Amino acid sequence: MPPSNESARRHAQRRPRAQAPLLGLLLDVDGPIASPVSRSIAIPTITRDLVRLAAAGVPIVFNTGRSEAFLREQVVGPLLDAGLPEQATVFAVCEKGAVWFEITAAGMGDVHVAEELAVPVAYGRAIASLVAERFAEHVFFDDTKRAMVSVEQRTEITNEEYRPVQREFDALAFAEFERHGLGVTDGEREVAASDGAVDFRIDATIISTDIESVLLGKDLGARRAIEWLERHGTLPVAWRTVGDSRTDYAMADWLHEHGFEVAHVDVRPADGVPAKPYPVLTAEELIHDEAGAAFLSRWVDMVEGVADDDRDVA
């Protein structure tokens, strides 16, 4: 649930302690870190620079819709191979706030799951059957998710082939909620349950469809990150949030609303950059993980005193 007004005032009044980190990073994974084509970290400098930033004391939070299994294989493993230092402050929030854990030089810590935010098991089974029976040539059911239900484009399928299939699937997934008597919205239409509740959301991305509780989101991930840092570290002087979709702006929205200095990096600005009360940065012609790599390199220069800011990254 969103923070109370008292919580908001408490965050806004907080001041960083002495020797607080210059910078904190809240990073979406698909797009700015992992290639949306290969679904892996395809640019070697990304891992190198993440480790350099962690070594410099920058808190790093991965805030993603991906599962903890995906993070373990595609992010945690490469970070450990690159020499993540003992003093690193690294945290991951998966499934848009439903799953979270610490990352250290020894690997992943205990995985926490908000079971109360999970999509009903019966609905998930129905979607798995739907994929197997009608859509298996184009998509796969992500059985690593613990709270969300996600259906993803196969890597051998082009996005042009995927889009019409996605629209067909999304319509059937919406109708399946109605058959289960559950309230759902897809951002354009809404059907309530018999008690008037709309508890679930269908969120289509460029490579997947996420089916989730309406309480999940990148803003919940930001809140979990701040709460974890309050217990385990020092709050940074300023934040950079990074994403490739309009929903990723919720990270910066939450931080700004709670009194933190923040700028958001949009690595796919072609979808349109909304007007915001905080700076929005882009890498001009660079997009996705190429833009993410450019900003990470610039932030390494910033914390090492080589660059003054990140406004001229491209």
Tokens of 246: 């309009």
Torsion angle defined by CA atoms of residues 143, 144, 148 and 154, in that order, rounded to the nearest 10 degrees: -60
pTM: 0.91
Amino acid symbol at 163 = R
Q: How many domains does the chain have?
A: 2
Any domain includes 238: yes
Considering the domain architecture, whether residues 107 and 252 belong to the same structural domain is answered as yes
Return d(Cα 84, Cα 51) in angstroms, integer.
Answer: 5
pLDDT at 17: 47
Considering the domain architecture, whether residues 129 and 145 belong to the same structural domain is answered as yes
Considering the domain architecture, whether residues 171 and 296 belong to the same structural domain is answered as no
Taking all residues of the chain, what is their mean pLDDT, rounded to a whole number?
Answer: 93
Considering the domain architecture, whether residues 194 and 252 belong to the same structural domain is answered as no
pLDDT in tens, 255-305: 999 999 999 999 999 999 999 999 999 998 999 999 999 999 999 999 988
The CATH number linked to 286 is: 3.40.50.1000
pLDDT in tens, 204-213: 999 999 999 9
Considering the domain architecture, whether residues 94 and 128 belong to the same structural domain is answered as no
Q: What is the span of the domain harbouring residue 206? A: 117-213
Among 213, 243, 275, residue at a domain's last position: 213
Residues 6 or more apart in contact with residue 289 via CB below 8 angstroms:
31, 32, 33, 34, 35, 36, 41, 42, 43, 46, 267
Considering the domain architecture, whether residues 141 and 162 belong to the same structural domain is answered as yes
Any domain includes 10: no
C-alpha separations of 14 from 17, 209, 234 in Å: 9, 38, 11
Any domain includes 133: yes
Any domain includes 24: yes
Considering the domain architecture, whether residues 121 and 209 belong to the same structural domain is answered as yes
Among 147, 180, 213, residue at a domain's last position: 213
Any domain includes 267: yes
* pLDDT higher than threshold 80 for residue 16: no
- CA Rg, the chain, in Å? 19
Query: pLDDT class for 131, splitting at 50, 70, 90?
Result: very high
Return d(Cα 314, Cα 311) in angstroms, integer.
Answer: 8
Return d(Cα 279, Cα 257) in angstroms, integer.
Answer: 14
